Chain A
Amino acid sequence: MSLSAKIPEGPLAEKWSKHKFDLKLVNPANKRKYDIIVVGTGLAGASAAASLAELGYNVKAFCFQDSPRRAHSIAAQGGINAAKNYQNDGDSVYRLFYDTIKGGDYRAREANVYRLAEVSVNIIDQCVAQGVPFAREYGGLLDNRSFGGAQVSRTFYARGQTGQQLLLGAYSALNRQIHHGKVKMYTRTEMLDVVVVDGKAQGIITRSLTTGEIDTHTGHAVLLCTGGYGNVFYLSTNAAGSNVTAAWRAHKRGAFFANPCYTQIHPTCIPVTGDHQSKLTLMSESLRNDGRVWAPKTHEIAEQLRKGAIKAAQVGEADRDYFLERKYPSFGNLVPRDVASRNAKEMVDDGRGVGGSGVAVFLDFADAIGRLGKDAVAAKYGNLFDMYYQITDEDPYTQPMRIYPAVHYTMGGLWVDYNLSTNVPGLYALGECNFSDHGANRLGASALMQGLSDGYFVIPFTLGDYLATIGPKPVDVNHPAFAQTKKDVTDYIAKLLALRGTKTVNEYHRELGHIMWEYCGMARTAEGLTKAKGLIQALRADFWKNAIVLGENEEVNASLEKAGRVADFLELGELMVDDALMRNESCGGHFRLESQTPEGEALRDDEHFAFVAAWEYTGDNQPEILNKEALEFEYVHLTQRNYK
């Protein structure tokens, strides 16, 4: 199938403006004749639902949590980028665009990224107008800080909980529309399938997580704002409930899944302590503004640190290797995430890791505390230091943090065109759920920007064009596709509930996570990926024989919820491995050991792999079909990324 990204004609800087003018409009009196389904209420979902309701559409919004405010955007710590150039340090829309394309290792669409940079400035205005309490200077103006992959300070922040404050802003806008009756909110409700009628998405099937009721909802369009799939790795910084189910079920109904192997491993997370661990906790990238990453220079010192014979503070300057500062003098500790992660792994692989397990490096604030004082450091990062202390029982004010990379974000996701439409008309994907803006590596503070850009400023325009095209005729709920899809869902649940084997669903999830981390994590090889494929297939077959799923459908049943999500991860995992195997190059977070520069950096193969891999589902346990969307670069010259 040929894929058209529908990128507008014209110069880069004018594409979005021109496109907005070319898009069809729905007249205000007709808007109330359309029903829009929004699944997920994080930054993308809440902002889209609120903005569309403000325009006059009838919105039905869904989240599996008990309140829309709990969506995992809430946990974002560091900040949100915007090309405001308030700091007069040389920032511009073009620079944010350029940094993002380069940071993504030239695997994102130029037009999408430029639009993202362009609307970034509107996002900050919108959030401030809603009452989001961003950090401010004494003069009353907004403050900024720096993030990885940039040499300007363009990151707006609210202490270490920017995500919560932005989400509360979007949630308040959503609440206002719920109050006005323009949004009907369904909490503790999980989407289990999308209904495709004559090739168009016209509804969804949901399960109430309190009563088990399976419901049908109709809509003229369905927006999936359901986040990423990092939990395929079992351990990640995602929330326990974060899952791929909505996106995956949509994929099985025809939506292409793009670049599934592009996962972001965040360099600064609290290391794993044992098998009981249920999640990993991020220490914000903002810490790399003041924290210095190091490992001991010699194996001997590392060994002594691991045994606890000496403390980090006792290691003299001459015996420390500030490896990021050494290898990348111009970006130093603020290199992009993929680069920082790989270097930490190199240290550990080289036997210079620290901590009891030896799988960690230091993030040291001694210099910053000496330079700025403890109070100033606490004012900037206090809540992160407290969180670190709670989890590790170590005081980061007196000894360096131990950190190690962990799965954090997925750049891959449902394939969408410039209008955020999947290849299934009427089915849209926003935020982390889509693949579009971050290429093979996302820069810090860009996820919040993309979620809000998609929800506040892109979908309100592009959706109207589609709705005007199909017209306001009510969706026919009696079409057989609704009953059939509902039956498919009910049958699938019955199949899960019939599993009364010997192994818990969590054990399968953990095993899948081990396979993914080992073979499809920070370093990947053809041999390892081939092996992983077999292991996943065997694990999936075993799951459908030996898993234990307790209880009934008609009740609160966490076992059933988890089983459905893990079953989907067991399918997605194989596709990620296929994608990683097919992409015989390194780019951004996708690092194939076979493809590296003499210095050990990711080596792209632009001649063969400058494309988006959009996978097409063909049936259970069948190989998926690879569709390619060529990436064309008119403005940015493709080079080897250099942060030295």
Chain B
Amino acid sequence: MNLTLKVWRQKNAQTAGKFVTYQAEGISPDMSFLEMLDVVNESLILKNDEPIHFDHDCREGICGMCSLYINGHPHGPKRAITTCQLHMRTFHDGQTITIEPWRAAPFPVIKDLAVDRSAFDRIQQAGGYVSVNTGGVPDANEILIPKVIADEAFNSATCIGCGACVAACKNASAMLFVSAKVSQFALLPQGQPERYSRAQSMVAQMDAEGFGNCTNTGACEAECPKEISLTNISRMNNDYLSAKLFREEHAHENNG
């Protein structure tokens, strides 16, 4: 099939960007969206034109590196998948597809469709861990975890850190991402000792990065490729409030 692409091109964070129109011809419905872009890029290179830059790596929906805001949706129109799993059979011949980067102040554009998501790393560095060193830990089966708790923690842990939640949110809030990370540890016995200080440190870093607040629109949940649930946000708010009201002192004693 033949498609018209309107693609955001931007040299770097300092330069203004603009939409450029390309024709994508002879596209097979079995191609993934990224493979379609590969084909366009090959033709650009042969014309000595600069290829469209986008982030990608595993191409199987788990590394979280690919992004792309496609026709107004992070990771495109289909639910619960990443861009690399989106296949061209979702589109029809002659369609115009608009492709933009994630748009959020804490995610500055690096080039074209790639943005800097290192804010997510810094939030996790602020407290997204259990403070255990290598070695000297108990036997794995000494920590009993009810299956339902383990499964729920796992559901939170499936977040791939792609940033679609931020891109989907009119406030550029990172609450879904941060709450998924907070929840995984808050649910598990291993996470209890640092539960409240963790929620505080990670929220503080989230705010420092400039992410907006949550106004319960739910766009993040609807667009999340891993279907992370809004319940995580409630859990994080609960822990954060509880920490602020009753456990501030403990948090202050914590050195991370």
Contact = CB atoms under 8 A, between A and B. Distances in A.
A460 interface: yes
A126 B147 contact: no
B150 A277 contact: no
A164 interface: yes
Given A68-B121, A74-B62, A131-B184, A126 B85 contact: no
Contact of B45 (A273, A504, A556): A504
A630 interface: no
A559 to B, nearest CB: 7
A556 B12 contact: yes
B57 A240 contact: yes
Interface stretch (A173-181, A293-301, A316-324, A538-546): A173-181
Contacts of B146: 136, 138, 140
B50 A504 contact: no
A241 B256 contact: no
Contact of A131 (B62, B63, B185): B185
A352 interface: no
A557 to B, nearest CB: 9
A642 to B, nearest CB: 33
A278 B61 CA distance: 14
B134 A133 contact: no
Of the listed residues B34, B80, B121, the one surrounded by the most CB atoms of chain A closer than 10 A to its CB is: B121
Contacts of B154: 133, 135, 158-159, 165
B130 A172 contact: yes
A239 to B, nearest CB: 4
B63 to A, nearest CB: 4
A621 interface: no
Nearest to B153: A133
Interface stretch (A307-315, A387-395, A408-416, A426-434): A387-395
A348 interface: no
A466 interface: no
Given A133-B150, A140-B144, A504 B57 contact: no
A66 B190 contact: no
A252 B86 CA distance: 40
A172 B125 CA distance: 8
B114 interface: yes
A360 to B, nearest CB: 14
B interface secondary structure, majority? loop
Of the listed residues B125, B137, B188, the one surrounded by the most CB atoms of chain A closer than 10 A to its CB is: B125
B54 to A, nearest CB: 9
Interface stretch (A98-106, A194-202, A547-555): A547-555
A363 B87 CA distance: 23
Of the listed residues B45, B87, B146, B153, the one surrounded by the most CB atoms of chain A closer than 10 A to its CB is: B45
A457 B134 contact: yes
A636 B210 CA distance: 60
Nearest to A135: B150
Interface residues of A, number: 84
Contacts of B161: 67, 69
A173 B129 contact: yes
Contact of A66 (B12, B35, B65): B65
A75 B65 CA distance: 12
Given A67-B120, A140-B146, A276 B39 contact: yes
A456 interface: yes
A558 B87 contact: no
Contacts of B65: 65-66, 70
B143 interface: yes
Contacts of B135: 122, 126, 456-457
A492 interface: no
A428 to B, nearest CB: 17
B140 A74 contact: no
B93 interface: no
B117 to A, nearest CB: 6
Interface in B90-141: 110-111, 114, 116-118, 120-121, 124-135, 137-141
B35 A277 contact: yes
Given A68-B121, A126-B137, A276-B31, A75 B150 contact: no
B126 A210 contact: no
B245 interface: no
Interface in A123-144: 124-131, 133-142
A130 B190 contact: yes
Contacts of A128: 137, 140, 143, 190
A84 B140 contact: yes
Given A129-B190, A556-B12, 16 more contacts: A54-B133, A67-B120, A75-B58, A129-B138, A133-B154, A136-B145, A138-B147, A176-B129, A176-B256, A179-B126, A187-B118, A457-B135, A555-B111, A556-B53, A558-B51, A559-B51
Interface of A: 47, 50-51, 54, 65-70, 72, 74-75, 84, 86, 122, 124-131, 133-142, 158-159, 161, 163-165, 168, 171-173, 175-176, 178-180, 185, 187, 210, 237, 239-241, 273-274, 276-279, 281-282, 386-387, 390-391, 393, 456-457, 460, 500, 502, 504, 506-507, 548, 550-551, 555-556, 558-559
Which 4 residue pairs are nearest across A and B when measured between Cβ atoms? A140-B144, A172-B129, A129-B137, A133-B154
12 contacts: A51-B133, A54-B134, A86-B141, A131-B185, A240-B56, A273-B30, A274-B31, A276-B30, A387-B60, A456-B135, A548-B45, A550-B51
